[in-house]
Structures are given as structure tokens and as C-alpha cells.
A and B are shown apart, each in its own frame.
Chain A
């Protein structure tokens, strides 16, 4: 038997055994198999839309003892994709999720971001993760991400859907559950104003001092400083390129300089109506007919 087949068989066996022990010891991240408990709060977004920043803001408003850091965020506002269900049962239940609509989620804070910026950010994160093929610029990466030919369990997951599926699935279901929509761009514009919305939504105490503290402890500058010393401790940055930052520009509109016009046109052609409803101005002429279903308008 050729040695490469032997190696492949052994690797397959090791993978199988790992799956068994992970399952037996309940070590698989909860993800979609999460046991949803009454009272759970979900911070949901498509990846690269400000979810981590929101977790810092909310966490720093809730916890007055010590600031949120990359080292403690997963035990205070944990992600579904880091801890197994068993462990999540013992942790505070404000949970980060990227899943498409899940009817079991009863209280949802949904963060939406201009998909053109999301895709730029996704590109840089993919490079940091080392999963972008050699010589691929953003102009090759984005179309591959859009047509589904680029697959990666970290950044792209079939169960998260496209930006459009993710966003539309939650917006369509907003009036049958407790739902708060946040726009990343509004948060950048005035983080305190948006954090007050969250505080009202969750019934948190939001004195001006507490708000100012939370915003300061969650600023991009502060988070960059934390990342410098804690990147190796956090699951999303561990084993990624240390020369590239997770907390990148934290700005709106960088797509204008970074995305080729054709890519922008493709994104707008695919998702234009939903983008416009969310206040993201299109660079091309808007389609003549608004084809959005009523619940999304």
C-alpha cells in the first residue's frame, strides 16, 4: 500500500477518535446545538460586524468590578463557538452568535454593518488567519466569498448564511420576539447613545459615568492595547498572524478605498434593496423596483 494512503488512513482514524473523545467529554463548541434557556440574551451578527466590540461595550456596562478583556470576555459574554454546551450552562447567558434566524432565540440584539465594509474586514481577518490563497487580493477573495466557493469554518459557515440571508432572516422575525437592531455605523457615530438603547433594552443601569466608563474601556485604542498582550489567550486570535491586528481600523466606509468598483457593483446588485433599507447608500443607481418583501421594508 502506498505510504500516502496509509498516512491518510491513520489521519482519518485519529480524526474519528478525536471526534469520539470530544463528544464523549462534551468538548465540541455548542453552536447550533446550544441548549437555549429561558431568559437567554443573544448578541447576533454576521461575522466582522462589530460583535466583539458590542460584547466589550455591554460587558463593561454590566461588570463594574474589572474591565472586559480578551482574556475574560469568553467567560463573561461567551461565544457559542468557543465553549461546549455543558460549560455554557454555568456561564452568564448573554451569548454571542453568528447563526441565521433561530426561533428559539427570544431576546436578540442584532448588529448590522455595511456589507461592503464587512467584506473588506473579512478579507483582512482571513489573511490574518492564513486561509487566503497566495496572491489573492481582495478583488479575488470577495467574489469567492460571495459565490460560496471560499469555505472556512472560522469565517464562513454554511449555517450562518450570506450577509443577506443572515440579516434578512433576523429582520423579518423582529416583531415576534424581543429585538433590538443596532447599526455598527451608528455605534461609531455615538457609542453612548447606542449603548443607552442596549441598557434600556436589557434593563441595565446607565448613569452618565457608567456609560462613559464602558465606552472608554471599549474604545478601539484600548482594545488594540489589550490585543497586543492578550492575543495568544483569545480563541479568535490564537495561532493567527501576530503582525496583523484583530482590532483593525474600526471605521466606516473604508470599502471606498479598498474595494474595486466591479466588486462594489456586484455586492450592490445582489443586496442593494436590503442595504438601502438599512441606510447604506448605494454608489450605483438604485434598482427601479424595490423587490423587498413588506416585512423587510
Chain B
């Protein structure tokens, strides 16, 4: 009975997929058609990608502010949008992705965030998405987060970040942004992005001080929270999730200090401490991490 059920399910899935091909409604995802002038906004989930989409969207098109209901036609993400729709966008396109290293992405803006904060944010996100219940302890979530259990195709935080930084750091088509730097001084970060886009021959952007301030204002956490209240039912990432939990949460750096227990922090730092340090994230449990690192060593 079990196998009959699953083969029926597979048949259903195959027919649905065929229907999507027939009508040109295939979701892009990993089958995305990549153009040589594409610019990808890549990050591990919960690392500030949506905020960056708001910032850049508000800077690129200053006549019509970004909202959750129009962000998918401005800087669309590849997982819920159709390849045919994405192929018709104005070139050069800017697209959001969570993939680990993809050799065919020609230009990449990669956003990295302190994995301890990513863990906290991802925990709340999974509660909102009903993947885990309200009373599921965050201390039980963290080891599963470290193992990259919640979205295997993106890998663990380390898989994702390390694969991009090792392969592309220093490449003229690669820009590394730290969420924490963007929080501290969004003007500086945005100016760096504008310079990068100019080098990529992106369309001309008004990057005057006033334009930058306006884009930052229109993308503030408070404003995004207000917009989320209005648009949550219309946006693909919030549709069908728990409406009592916000998508735009605390939007701060360092929340892990009060939300994670010592053991969870030590677990993250001993798994990824070395990479965290190269990205400028100071370790709290230095002794434990250093010990683990020397044990593992680096194969030559």
C-alpha cells in the first residue's frame, strides 16, 4: 500500500511538472537559465538577503519603493519564480539565491552574517514556518542547524560560506558583504555595492548621499515590519506561515548573546570557529574552539 501510494504521488508530481513545462511555469531554482551579465545576491538563509534586496531595490529604482508585494519582480529570488518569468526581466538582472558555490554565477554579491545570529534567526524562522513547535528548545535546534539539516541543498552555514569565499574571494566579479558592517554603517556598505555594480556595467544608479539615505530609510526594519503587516499574505516567503510570528524579526547583530546558551555557542564555535575568525567574528569560547581546531588541524 505504501509503495502504491508513493508511486501515485510520483505520478502526480510528474504530471504536475509536465503541466508546468507545457505552460512554461517551471520554477527556476537550480534549473535557472543564467545569463553572462547576471548579478546574484547570494547568502545563507537568514543572513540579511531580503534587507539587501530592499536596500538595492530602493536605490536602483527610486521612483517606486520596494514592498514585499513587488520585490519578486525587482530582485526576484530563484526558488519560487518561474524561469520563463525571470528570462523576461530587464537585463542585467539581479537575482537572489541561497546556493552554495555555483561556478556558472558570473557576478556575485555574497552576504555573510555571524552564524550564531543566523542560528537564532533560523530557529525563529522554522517556528514561523511550522517546521518546529513553539516549545522546541533552541539548544536542540542548534546541533541540527550545525549539521545543515533544515535545507540540505544549501549545505551547512560553513559549506555555503566557505565554498564561496575560497573559490571567489579576490575575484573582480565577487563582493563580500558582512551583515554586521551593513548594520553599523549602511552608507559605506551600499557605496561599496554601487562601485561593484559600476564595475559590472550595471545600469546607472543615482548614488548621491540623499539617494543612499532615502534607500536606507525606506528599508529600515521598522518600515519593513509595517510593510510585512500589509503584505505578508501576498509574499511567497510569508504566505501560509504563522502570522503571529514576524519575518522581519529583531534585525540586530549580537542577539545570540542573550538567546543562545553557552553550550550552543561552544558547539557552533568549535564546528566553525576558524572560518568565523577569518570573517572577523570573535569567538566567545576561545579555549574550547582553539582546542578543537588544533585537534582537527588542516590537512596539507
Binding site for B on A (CB under 8 A): 19-21, 23-26, 32-33, 36, 86, 100-104, 158-162, 165-166, 168-169, 172-176, 291, 293-297
Contact = CB atoms under 8 A, between A and B. Distances in A.
A24 B15 contact: yes
Binding site secondary structure of chain B: helix
B18 A20 contact: yes
B98 to A, nearest CB: 11
Contacts of A159: 102-104
Contacts of A20: 18, 21-22
Which 7 pairs between the two chains have the least Cβ-Cβ distance? A103-B155, A161-B103, A24-B18, A158-B104, A172-B166, A103-B159, A165-B103
Given A158-B104, A297-B300, A103 B166 contact: no
Interface residues of B, number: 35
Contacts of B101: 100-101, 165, 169
Given A23-B21, A33-B30, A173 B163 contact: yes
B109 to A, nearest CB: 19
B154 interface: yes
Nearest to A160: B103
Contacts of A176: 156, 158-159
A291 B21 CA distance: 45
B34 A295 contact: no
A24 B19 CA distance: 8
5 contacts: A23-B17, A25-B14, A104-B153, A158-B103, A160-B103
Contacts of A294: 298
Interface in B97-148: 100-104, 148
B280 interface: no
B167 A168 contact: yes
Contacts of B155: 103-104
Contact of B103 (A25, A162, A172): A162
Given A158-B104, A169-B163, A104 B18 contact: no
A23 B18 contact: yes
Contacts of A174: 299
B21 A172 contact: no
Contacts of A162: 103
Contact of B31 (A33, A158, A295): A33
A99 B14 CA distance: 24
B96 to A, nearest CB: 18
Contact of B30 (A26, A32, A166, A293): A32
Nearest to B34: A158
A23 B22 CA distance: 10
B28 interface: no
Nearest to A105: B155
B239 interface: no
- Which of B22, B30, B101, B170 has the most A CB atoms < 10 Å from its CB? B101
A172 B18 CA distance: 38
B162 interface: yes
B122 to A, nearest CB: 16
B295 to A, nearest CB: 12
A169 B103 contact: yes
A133 B153 CA distance: 38
Contacts of B166: 168-169, 172, 293, 295-296
Contacts of B103: 100, 158-162, 165-166, 169
Given A104-B152, A296-B166, 7 more contacts: A101-B100, A101-B101, A165-B167, A169-B103, A169-B166, A291-B170, A297-B298
B169 interface: yes
Nearest to B31: A33
A33 B26 CA distance: 13
A176 B148 CA distance: 11
Contacts of B31: 32-33
A276 to B, nearest CB: 12
Given A86-B10, A101-B101, A295-B162, A169 B15 contact: no
A103 B160 contact: yes
B204 interface: no
Contact of A169 (B21, B156, B167, B169): B167
Nearest to B105: A158
A102 B163 CA distance: 10
B296 interface: yes
A204 to B, nearest CB: 23
Contact of B152 (A33, A103, A166, A293): A103
Contacts of B10: 86
Contacts of B102: 100, 159
Interface in B161-175: 162-163, 165-167, 169-170
A30 to B, nearest CB: 12
Nearest to A297: B300
- Which of B34, B103, B158 has the most A CB atoms < 10 Å from its CB? B103
Contacts of A166: 103
A98 B217 CA distance: 46
Contacts of A25: 14
B56 to A, nearest CB: 25
A172 B275 CA distance: 12
- Which of B152, B156, B160, B296 has the most A CB atoms < 10 Å from its CB? B152
